[in-house]
Amino acid sequence: MDDTQLIAAILRRDQDAMVALHARYADLIYSIGYRILNDSGTAEECVQDVFMRVWQNTSQYDSGRGSLVAWLVGIARNIAIDKLRQRGRQVTVDDRDGLDDSDRLVAAAMPENWRDREHLDALRLQMKELPDEQYQALYLAYFGGMSQSDIAEHLNLPLGTVKTRMRLGMQKLRDAWLDKN
Amino acid sequence: MNESELLQLIPEYVLGTLSEEERRQVDALLEHSAEAREELRSYQEMMVGVAALSPRRQAPVHLNTDFKKLLEQSTPVAAPAPVSTTASNRPPLRFTSQSLLLAAAAALVLILGVFLITRTVQQNAQQQQIAAITGDASAVRVTLDVQPDSGAQGQVSFVAVPGQDRGVLLGTLPELPAGQQYQLWIIAGETPIGVKVYDAAELTSEILVDLPVPARNFGVGITVEPRGGSQTPTPPIAFFGSYQTS
């Protein structure tokens, strides 16, 4: 079953379909959780919380606003950041060396028919080329859940500068994703 | 803020860094702007790519089995509460035939009243939902065409607001023999999903339909099936239309 069929079955309260969705995306969600939390136990909790939330709130999924996997990733990020805050911790910005070895990226575990696979290389290259200051601001916001004013304070920069860096960084990544470069 | 300025905020909306007020304004824009929804969609899909570029960590295998158990536990089976009154402390029950008749009559009136009130409330709620869908400016209406060689007659349309999980079927269809009914199908993937079985008489007014997937880019078909409906559509398909939102 593709994702559309899975979500249709889950809407009909098909538990087997829900377990199949878990099997399909557990690695992705676990990898996001681990990247944010840097702790295997809490990343495991994150995986179960994400899929339970999907089961309990399936009708909130709106295909008009994005794919099922985008919805899952958004939930995973929110749950992991909540756990990060509960523990009073901060995310550590990683270097980008890992991007060179595509076999060791979670993309390698995405379903074969993931339609956005072809866009990934352009995005990977653009992420590597992003100026440090833009990458850092985006990382702290997305994987650290920090507000723009928190980031401004953390990096000792004016708020306007942080906003500009984020916007530019996001636009470059999105353009690469859409093959506009 | 005007629409163009709000559109510029979508990257930050995706990052979750907007203030509550800014977020509320972007939400309002997304409600009515297809361009904003498309912009949001492209950024969200791109962030899936960013997430997929994370170092791979393999989730422990037991998580899937554990989740299956969690899922089973999360669907409680309703059980009647046990009655704890014992025979020794239960007061003796004495009824006359007259009091039993009066009690039965009162219960009947009460049940009938509750039934009528509930049905009226449900009908009103359904009519309101139908009016909300058919009156929505963003609703997409599809005419279901009679399929060649099906021998079908009648006119049917399907209306739904993009992204919502309910739609409305309206039109007129001829009566079928007693052992047959019309069945509505949604074709969102490889397998058509039967969503509603109905008689022609029901289609003299609009029918509210619960959709198995949010309304977006699927096929809508109607077949004639044995009374009660079928698991899979019986050829030939009588009516078919393509619901497209983008």
- Smallest CA-to-CA distance from A146 within A105, A93, A67, A76 is with A93
Sorted by sequence, the CB contacts under 8 Å of residue B208 that are 6+ apart come out as B126, B129, B130, B133, B166, B167, B168
Query: Rg for chain A (alpha carbons), in Å?
Result: 17
A13-71 pLDDT, tens digit each? 999 999 999 999 999 999 999 999 999 999 999 999 999 999 999 988 888 778 899 99
A124–B contact, CB cutoff 8 A: yes
Largest interatomic CA distance in chain B: 79
User: Mutate which of B7, B31, B57 to test chain A, going by most A C-beta atoms within 10 A?
Assistant: B57
Sorted by sequence, the CB contacts under 8 Å of residue A168 that are 6+ apart come out as A134
- How far is the alpha carbon of B194 from chain A, nearest alpha carbon, in Å? 11
Q: Which residue of B47, B55, B190 is in closest CB contact with A104?
A: B55
Give the mean pLDDT of chain B: 81
- Quote ipTM for the complex: 0.89
pLDDT at B47: 92
Domains by residue range for chain B, with CATH: 1-54+94-134 (no CATH), 140-243 (2.60.40)
DSSP H helices in chain A: 3-11, 15-37, 40-56, 68-86, 120-129, 132-142, 148-155, 159-177
Distance spanning both ends of chain B, measured CA to CA: 27
Q: Which residue of A30, A56, A178 is in closest CB contact with B59?
A: A30
For a pLDDT cut of 90, what percent of chain A falls above it? 64
Restricting to A residues 49-88, those with a Cβ less than 8 Å away from any Cβ of B are: 51-52, 55-56, 59, 61-67, 69-70, 73-74, 76-78
pLDDT at B63: 94
Distance spanning both ends of chain A, measured CA to CA: 34
Q: Of A5-9, A153-157, B184-188, B242-246, which gets the smallest average pLDDT?
A: B242-246
pLDDT at A30: 95
DSSP H helices in chain B: 3-8, 10-15, 20-32, 34-52, 62-73, 97-134
B77–A contact, CB cutoff 8 A: no
User: Mutate which of B10, B13, B17 to test chain A, going by most A C-beta atoms within 10 A?
Assistant: B17
Mean pLDDT of A84-99: 82
A107-131 pLDDT, tens digit each? 887 877 777 777 888 999 999 999 9
Residue where the block lists tokens 């399909």: A24
Restricting to A residues 139-178, those with a Cβ less than 8 Å away from any Cβ of B are: 141-142, 145-148, 163, 166-167, 170-171, 173-174, 177-178
- How far is the alpha carbon of A89 from chain B, nearest alpha carbon, in Å? 18
B199-213 pLDDT, tens digit each? 877 766 678 888 888
pLDDT at B88: 42
Mean pLDDT of A73-77: 94
Burial class of residue B178 (count of CB atoms within 10 Å of its CB; 0-12, 13-18, 19+) = exposed
Beta-carbon separation of A116 and B45 below 8 A: yes
pLDDT at B106: 80
Sheet of B166-172, strands arranged across: B193-198, B180-187, B218-226, B239-243, B140-146, B155-160, B166-172, B207-210
- Smallest CA-to-CA distance from B156 within B230, B222, B213 is with B222
B62-92 pLDDT, tens digit each? 999 999 999 888 754 333 344 443 344 444 4
Mean pLDDT of A72-93: 89
- Smallest CA-to-CA distance from A73 within B45, B94, B165, B34 is with B45
Restricting to B residues 194-213, those with a Cβ less than 8 Å away from any Cβ of A are: 212-213
User: Mutate which of B14, B27, B37, B46 to test chain A, going by most A C-beta atoms within 10 A?
Assistant: B46
Using alpha carbons only, give the angle B119, B120, B125 rounded to the nearest 5 degrees.
100
| The model scores a pTM over 0.90 | no
Query: Rg for chain B (alpha carbons), in Å?
Result: 27
DSSP H helices in B82-212: 97-134
Strand partners, B193: B186
Compute CA distances B10 → A145, B25, B42, whole Å: 16, 11, 10
Q: Of A14-28, A162-176, B49-63, B85-99, which gets the smallest average pLDDT?
A: B85-99
